[in-house]
Homo-oligomer: A and B are copies of this chain.
Amino acid sequence: MDDHTEDVTMQGAVCPVPLPYKAQIVLGHGSGGKMTQGLIESVFYPPFENPALLRGDDSAVVVSPQGGKLALTTDSHVVTPLFFPGGDIGRLAVCGAVNDLCMVGAQPQWLTAGFILEEGLPFEVLERVTQSMRAAAEDAGVIIVAGDTKVTERGKADGIFINTNGIGWVPEGRDVSGANARAGDVVLLSGSLGDHGIAVLAARGELEFEAQVESDMAPLNAMVEMMFEACSGIRVLRDPTRGGLATTLNEIACQSRVGIRIDEQSIPVHGAVEAACEMLGFDPLYVANEGKLVAIVPADASEDVLEAMQSHPYGKEACVIGEVVEEPAGRVLMQTAIGSTRVVETLSGEMLPRIC
């Protein structure tokens, strides 16, 4: 499986030549950006095609034969290192599933957890991770009802991988999707960008300075319920994880066939994150978050929803960052700090592999 090259007959001689770029998986296919989207559209959509999958939201919503709408989501977690300021792979696995469910308006109820362990993993590490999952599950009010464990030989995995699945119910009347944004809507962001990505990077020792950054990792379901109390007609919710805010907004602009205009100066970025990004040449708009959400709401409800967000600890830095416009459909435009307007593209390639 590991061959970079394949043998081809070339003028009679068999020589190893590099495969074309497209012919094998590279790290960029896991970036959450353009290459991930390309992989999904070319390899996963054609065989599995069905309306719930093609909708392309953070969770699939299916109509239950018993009545009601069920939300289902899956996420594998391969973050390295396993522990970092503000969180660890266990908390990440729980928050990731919980947040994907509430991004379609569902109330998370049950999780399942599948572990792939590498031979040689200390028990003590696994125990720290499961205790952390328990705490995060309590925090989110969900229960872990089923599990599975596989073990690979040394060198065939990397410590711990965790897959979590989330199952929840979408209360009647809620219709939340990346496809629902309309011109005139207001774009809200629940807080500062980039904390998770930079915290993980710092824990890898890849920064040449010491950054006091903690991951923002948090289960967002309680805040989301408060937002629905303020406005039952929330149109879009999405958490800007892999690919960052830039990629998330582009996904929404494409799904809804609208333009999105944002104002750079309105977007909160903590000082230490900004400093780290400047040194590394990163744009915080592309750095992963694990406890933030974008909400798109009708203009007349935006103040109420913003207030609800700000009244919750996970949304205290919430703010309006822009608006939905008709044109250019499928594009995100940003008014920069210096007053110009630039197109904000989807992430291409991979900036920070194994961030979640």
Contacts and interface: CB of A to CB of B under 8 A. Distances in A.
Interface of A: 1-4, 19, 22-30, 36, 39-40, 43-44, 47-48, 50, 52-53, 59-60, 62, 64-68, 70, 72-78, 82, 109-110, 112-127, 130-131, 133-134, 137, 143-161, 163, 165, 167, 169, 353-354, 356
B52 A146 contact: yes
B147 A48 contact: yes
A157 B155 contact: no
Contacts of A150: 30, 76-78, 354, 356
Given A144-B50, A149-B39, A23 B165 contact: no
Contacts of A131: 47
Given A22-B123, A59-B146, A74-B112, 11 more contacts: A1-B118, A1-B160, A2-B154, A2-B155, A28-B151, A29-B149, A30-B151, A43-B130, A47-B131, A78-B116, A151-B353
Contact of A163 (B29, B52, B74, B155): B74
A149 B30 contact: yes
A3 B120 contact: yes
Contacts of A126: 25, 43
A110 B62 contact: yes
26 contacts: A1-B120, A1-B160, A2-B120, A24-B119, A25-B123, A25-B151, A28-B151, A29-B149, A29-B151, A30-B149, A30-B151, A43-B126, A50-B144, A52-B143, A52-B146, A53-B147, A62-B145, A64-B66, A72-B145, A75-B148, A150-B356, A151-B353, A152-B158, A152-B353, A152-B354, A156-B157
Contacts of A117: 25, 29-30
A158 B1 contact: yes
Contact of A149 (B23, B36, B47): B36
Contacts of A124: 23
A25 B116 contact: no
Contacts of A146: 52-53, 59-60, 72-74
A165 B27 CA distance: 25
B120 A73 contact: no
B48 A165 contact: no
Contacts of A75: 114, 148
A352 to B, nearest CB: 12
Contacts of A160: 1
A50 B137 CA distance: 12
